[in-house]
Structure 1
Amino acid sequence: MKHVACLLVFAASLGLAATAPAGEPFTIAQAETTPATPPATEAAPAPAEAPTAAPVETHSTAPAMAPHAKPLELNSGDTAWMLTSTALVLMMTVPGLALFYSGMVRKKNILATAAQSFAITALVTVLWMVIGYSLAFTNGGGAHAFIGGLDRVMLSGMGVEVAHSLAGTIPESVYMTYQMTFAIITPALICGAFADRMKFSAMMLFMGIWLLVVYAPVAHWVWGGGFLGSKGVLDFAGGTVVHFNAGVAGLVCAMVLGKRVGYGTDNMAPHNLLYCLIGASLLWVGWFGFNGGSAVASNGLAGMAIANTQIATAAAALSWLAAEWAIQGKPSVLGMVSGAVGGLVAITPAAGFVAPDGALYIGLLSGIMCYLGAVWLKRALGYDDSLDAFGVHGIGGATGAILTGVFALPAINSLGAGLIAGNPGQVLVQIEGLLYSGVYCAAATFIILMGLNYSIGLRVSREEEVEGLDITQHGETIR
């Protein structure tokens, strides 16, 4: 029964696919249209009446172009960069996040933790192809402010000569796959909050539903033409859509599932910090594709986003290190890598909107804020966020989103002007975006978890948790 439950999300998605309308014929728009035929002058009568040929019925053989699509104006440099960025972002989840998270858990849960990232990569890939991409990035008609449509269910109509209206110089297939890697890492980040205690079957079903019910709509709100983008919310690469969203969902998961057995009394130190260091390093490098690729072009904006990413990450690692050194007396390897990830998270919404000095300030402040969120806030509120998904991604995402409203400069990106550019209202717009997405994410996540808890159950038994998820969930272990 457990295995059947894990496949229900596929059945639901395929059911939606079956209701999608069939494609209509289309012709790709041309750069120039044929001028209309001028009115003919009166001709002399023909000597004899010739038989009139029957009109020839013609049909186009091309599929209909969806409202969000446009003819491709290929730029090989842009396409090459986006292909590279896609690979870099996928590397962030497998093996980057898998190593980062599995190094922080106890030895008995290493394989189970790494397996979550790998399984989510496979699950989200299929769901994104079936319906997720369509819900996030196509035209939703009358509901377009809130959700996309069904034009790209099963990627119907996605030819090699078609581009998305948001990325006209690269094939839509490249844009779709790039966005797929974002959809993969977002639910994978949530796993850090409930490490060591959630059933694998429940995790798979939760992630599939969450992707379609939470991630796809919020991505549409901000990036796909929805109401938050229309309000002017700035989110260059996913501070709100990816990290704050995942952090809030992680907090809800941690509170619903409750604390780990032995939390606060047993030794729960990370098993292998070298795994964490390697994983964080892969995340750091992969983030150049995450932020730089969000320019959707090989241009100066991509270069600025990468420079800002490097600066903010280094600054955050140092500020977390300094705070930890001052408060606890010693700098830790876990603190260094956690600070770096916090800086990566915080610069994500701002990378393509701020100047390098703004990136420095965002990094310095986010390192301290994430340290306080991961250490002080968790202790103060008493929840067990196992690997600090909320402390790093929730707090870091919110910090970065708000500071984007402070440091955004039209000289860097004409789409954004923040407080220092004379637009204090942008800070309020950023906070509004966080509130809308946070409240919706928290409510939807709670409802999904409750439904699963009352149907198949969320948490492993106490005995299984004590023995370890590697053995009890997968029948494997590391000796």
Structure 2
Amino acid sequence: MLNTGSTGFMLLATSLVMLMTPGLAFFYGGLACKRNILGIMMQSFVSLGITTILWFFVGYSLCFSGGEGAIIGDLDKMFLHGITPLTPFKNGGFPELVFVAYQMMFAIITPALITGAFANRVTFKAYLIFLVVWQLFVYYPFAHMVWGGGLLAEMGVLDFAGGIVVHATAGAAALASVFYVGSRKYKDSKPNSIPLMAIGTALLWFGWYGFNAGSELNVDGITALAFLNSDIAASFAAITWMIIEWLKETKPKFVGFMTGAVAGLATVTPAAGLVSMPVAALMGIIGAITCYLAVHIKNRMEWDDALDVWGVHGIGGVTGTILLGVFASTAINPAGTDGLLYGGTAFFIKELVVVVITSIYAFVFTYVMLILIDIITPVKVSDEEELAGLDISIHGECAYDTGVF
């Protein structure tokens, strides 16, 4: 029997996660220079279209049909075959179509996260190929293995809302992309609109409640816990990052505050419904510190991850997954497991090993994939296109009538 309350909540959560992709576009668009606002926003928005089509064709089936204990699912639900408006999801609380839509929103935003790393440098044709191939060979296998009853799920690996599946994979892919396309020729550009970035941060923060709380796939106490843990971690991380920059640069920076909030959200994501509220606060603090250090290391090594995708999303997801292995508690969520702090040494080792292997695989596959894409069509824009800006040179549009440069 379908439950109208659960169905309504999951539709709301789905809508919130969908809102995160435009939010990401605003976040990245505000950070980009004026010559590349539309180019980077387009890369987020086009994922809404391409990923939806791919998800309808094969994505949902490969992630959530068959393949028990395997690396990938089967094709039994291609084109959503056999799923009617009355087909219940496995827990019976809401239609499977709602679950299809909810998980599709995760698939949409994950490759879009990567785009901030190679801002200003990648051709649109190459990105479209990247968008399809990366999902087929990175996102879909890990979504199936962790959330679709595949290999990692059978091993007892937990990832409440995407520390492994979303943030670790996207962060590693971002770093591989940076290594492949190299540095921007013109790296001195400043954020074109911090208020636009603030709008994006607000939408991401707001949407993250659907991202994390909705991952309980039910309406219960754990749903509320995941919701509140998300806000707690984001808040502690935002203030921590702000304080670090304040001490280092003598001024409290708004961009730093917002970056810290996103780092905290990424860090708590794998553990949102599996740890206590004090642990969520601690995760926010640790997440802000580790992500800040990662960004500092990136700058020192001169890796041109333009919008700090690896440092914030990648390291945040990895840190949160490892901390889940330490602090998970069945006293908080009986459906979870106990972490290292409560005697779960084996669980901690599994989380640590899996997140490292996931990151390595995503990095290597992405780098090789870019080499192969380059054979079909140029991946990197020309120096002339980069100087003119991708908005004009690739899309033939500009964000502002005046002051483009």
Aligned to 1:118: 45
Extract unaligned runs of 5+ from structure 1: 1-72
Q: Distance in 2 between matches of 1:323 and 1:427?
A: 29
Q: Distance in 2 between matches of 1:192 and 1:168?
A: 39
1:76 maps to amino acid = T
Q: Which protein, 1 or 2, shows the higher relative CO under an 8 Å CA cutoff with sep ≥ 6?
A: 2
TM-score (structure 2 length as normaliser): 0.96
Q: Distance in 2 between matches of 1:332 and 1:339?
A: 11
1:383 maps to amino acid = W
Aligned to 2:80: 155
Aligned length: 399
1:236-251 to 2 correspondence within 5 Å? 236-251=160-175
Q: Distance in 2 between matches of 1:126 and 1:187?
A: 15
Aligned to 1:403: 323
Aligned to 1:23: none
1:388-467 to 2 correspondence within 5 Å? 388-414=308-334, 415-467=336-388
Deviation at 1:458, TM superposition (A): 0.2
2:130 maps to amino acid = F
Q: 2:189 aligns with which of 263, 268, 283?
A: 268
Identity %: 45
1:455 maps to amino acid = I
Q: Note if 1:475 corresponds to 2:396.
A: yes
Contact 2:21 2:44 in 1 (8 A): yes
Q: Distance in 1 between matches of 2:316 and 2:84?
A: 38
SS in 2 for 1:162: coil
Q: Note if 1:84 corresponds to 2:12.
A: yes
Deviation at 1:439, TM superposition (A): 2.1
Q: Note if 1:352 corresponds to 2:276.
A: no
1:266-305 to 2 correspondence within 5 Å? 267-305=188-226
Deviation at 1:238, TM superposition (A): 0.3
Q: Distance in 2 between matches of 1:455 and 1:160?
A: 41
SS in 2 for 1:151: coil
SS in 2 for 1:416: coil
Aligned to 2:300: 380
Q: Distance in 2 between matches of 1:164 and 1:78?
A: 11
Q: Distance in 1 between matches of 2:88 and 2:351?
A: 30
TM-score (structure 1 length as normaliser): 0.82
Deviation at 1:432, TM superposition (A): 1.4
Once the two structures are superposed, what CA deviation does each residue of 1:344-386 show, in whole Å capped at 9, x if it has no partner? 0001001010010010100011011111112x11123221001
Deviation at 1:209, TM superposition (A): 0.9
Q: Distance in 1 between matches of 2:94 and 2:60?
A: 16
1:33-48 to 2 correspondence within 5 Å? none
Q: Distance in 1 between matches of 2:56 and 2:306?
A: 31
Aligned to 2:25: 98
SS in 1 for 2:237: helix
Aligned to 1:138: 65
TM superposition outliers: structure 1 runs of 4+ over 6 Å: none
CA-based RMSD: 1.1
Contact 2:67 2:150 in 1 (8 A): no
Once the two structures are superposed, what CA deviation does each residue of 1:75-132 show, in whole Å capped at 9, x if it has no partner? 11111100000000000002x0010000001001111111111111110010011001
Deviation at 1:409, TM superposition (A): 1.1
Q: 2:153 aligns with which of 206, 217, 229?
A: 229
Deviation at 1:159, TM superposition (A): 1.2
Once the two structures are superposed, what CA deviation does each residue of 1:388-437 show, in whole Å capped at 9, x if it has no partner? 00000110000100001111110221222112222233221111111231
Q: Note if 1:370 corresponds to 2:291.
A: yes
SS in 1 for 2:88: strand
2:228 maps to amino acid = A
Q: Note if 1:198 corresponds to 2:128.
A: no
Once the two structures are superposed, what CA deviation does each residue of 1:13-51 show, in whole Å capped at 9, x if it has no partner? xxxxxxxxxxxxxxxxxxxxxxxxxxxxxxxxxxxxxxx
Q: Distance in 2 between matches of 1:150 and 1:436?
A: 26
Extract unaligned runs of 5+ from structure 2: none
User: Could you say which structure has the higher helix fraction?
Assistant: 2
Deviation at 1:251, TM superposition (A): 0.5
Q: Distance in 2 between matches of 1:296 and 1:109?
A: 38
Deviation at 1:134, TM superposition (A): 0.6
Q: Distance in 1 between matches of 2:211 and 2:255?
A: 23
Structure having the higher Rg: 1
1:7-22 to 2 correspondence within 5 Å? none
Contact 2:171 2:310 in 1 (8 A): yes
Q: Distance in 1 between matches of 2:160 and 2:181?
A: 33
